[in-house]
Structure 1
Amino acid sequence: MKEFFHRKLERNAIGFVLAIVGVASIGGLIEIAPLFTIQETVEDAPDMRLYTPLELAGRNLYIREGCYACHSQMIRTLRDEVERYGPFSLAVESKYDHPMLWGSKRTGPDLARLGGKYSDAWHVAHLLNPRDVVPESVMPRYGWLQRNTLRIEDLGDHLSAQRAVGVPYTDAMIANAVADARGQANADSSEAAGVSERYGEATHIRDFDGNPHLLTEMDALVAYLQIVGQLTQAAHPEAAAKRDQP
């Protein structure tokens, strides 16, 4: 009987197409329906801050080099994950991530709580030769990051594109994107003050790659890695409360 039904359906082109559309619609509905309640799903994070131009450039490099293919940035609610990596990831932490980098492949560890875990020097050494700091690592070397001068001329356009998809960059942030990228990597420059003024006093402003005379791709990537999981303290309510105490 079942075989007869399938044979009959497959010989009816219109009926077969309608059956495919019906089945596909069920899957589409399951994916789309949660978006109607997205405002109830995403947590509140009054302390949420934006990626600086330098950090955004670093995130672009992270994507360019395929880091997301081996590292996820989403800690699940499973006990073993929380014990290994830290508090599970909240939806609001990816609020300004376009594209999101949650991932599902873990050739390397999850990086959702990486920000501030290691020093800048550790990150530089790790990227130059991972086995110098993690002997069992299978990660490739990324030595060219320290040799490549960072392209910053079009950072304003990158911020504009992010604003088009909902990230609240201001006109001043977009206009000063190039200067802010230089200023964040050089605390002694006249441009550094503008970075903290536009992005907050908690912004990391320093030389990231050990060479204050050259703005490199290494500066940008390390700046990004040091802020991963630190745009908001929503997942760490105790730390946020302690910080806000007079």
Structure 2
Amino acid sequence: MKHDNIERNVGILIILTMLAISAGGLVEIVPLFFIKETVEKVDGVHPYSPLELRGRDIYIREGCYLCHSQMIRPFRDEALRYGHYSLAAESKYDHPFQWGSKRTGPDLARVGGKYSNDWHTQHLTAPRSLVPQSVMPNYPWLVKTDLDYSDIQGRMKALRTTGVPYSISQAEYDKNVKEFGADVAKNLHIPDAEKNLLAQAQAGNYDTNPEKLTETDALVAYLQLLGTMVDFRKYDDDYFAKFR
């Protein structure tokens, strides 16, 4: 009877609903104020270089995240197939993150270095030429389309406002050298973004055509980075170590 009275009284129902929501929210939020860091410190994780950043933007633009997640869950079958489970720190510079909720294709969190640049280029152009059972669409235009990097500094500055430590001043650059090392820090310096993008593309030759800078160069550079920043041997526990 009391429950029936509450449901019939809109004012009381609203108040009790708000109290229930508030209690649930406090249980989830309050503990965060007593944790020193909600994202663990993991050596090796760093922001994307200009070329990798453009590749990630193309990855999102083409909807790759709709079929490929980038979050390996801490289950035995996932460890056997993909490797170490995903760490929160691996996504600390992702805006938005690419965890995903559906896998039509395999998880890509550890795809970096698993295949050659040639393989990725061919797979993006004609997936079934390498994986006959694949349902992935063809993306032949990527290797034919010149990479537009005219706004790369603007993209980096936008991410800088979210907390990604891309540098503008010499002091910020020096701080990144101390945090990430000189090789990484130079790629995070916004004034040199275009020069660094071209240098990485030329050195990596990701689309296997050194004469042309294409969207495939950027996308493959991004894919080849995934899962390679962290030495997971340092973070393996006894349970997951036996599956590697």
User: Any gaps of 5 or more consecutive residues in structure 2?
Assistant: 174-188, 237-244
Q: Is the alpha carbon distance of 1:17 and 1:227 closer, same or farther for their aligned partners in structure 2, counting shifts above 3 Å?
A: same
Task: Find the counterpart in structure 1 of residue 26 from structure 2.
Answer: 29
Deviation sequence 1:93-133 (CA, Å, 0-9, x none): 11211111111201111111111000001001111011111
1:97 corresponds to which of 94, 98, 122:
94
Q: Is the alpha carbon distance of 1:220 and 1:38 closer, same or farther for their aligned partners in structure 2, counting shifts above 3 Å?
A: farther
Q: Is the alpha carbon distance of 1:170 and 1:22 closer, same or farther for their aligned partners in structure 2, counting shifts above 3 Å?
A: same
Task: Find the counterpart in structure 2 of residue 79 from structure 1.
Answer: 76
Task: Find the counterpart in structure 2 of residue 220 from structure 1.
Answer: 218
Shift of 1:38: 5.7
User: Any gaps of 5 or more consecutive residues in structure 1?
Assistant: 188-205, 240-246
Distance of 2:69 and 2:160 partners within structure 1 = 25
Deviation sequence 1:105-163 (CA, Å, 0-9, x none): 01111111111000001001111011111111111111111111111011111111222
SS at match of 1:58: helix
- Asked whether the 8 Å contact 1:121–1:209 carries over to 2, the reply is yes
Q: State the aligned residue count.
A: 217
Runs of 4+ deviating beyond 6 Å: none
Task: Find the counterpart in structure 1 of residue 202 from structure 2.
Answer: 186
Distance of 2:207 and 2:70 partners within structure 1 = 23
CA RMSD of aligned residues (A): 2.1
Matched, 1:232 2:230: yes
SS at match of 1:87: coil
Identical counterparts, % of pairs: 52
Task: Find the counterpart in structure 2 of residue 137 from structure 1.
Answer: 134
Task: Find the counterpart in structure 2 of residue 47 from structure 1.
Answer: 44
- Name the TM-score, length of structure 1 as normaliser: 0.81
Task: Find the counterpart in structure 1 of residue 119 from structure 2.
Answer: 122
- Asked whether the 8 Å contact 2:52–2:218 carries over to 1, the reply is yes
- Name the TM-score, length of structure 2 as normaliser: 0.81
Matched, 1:177 2:175: no
Shift of 1:169: 1.1
Shift of 1:34: 5.3
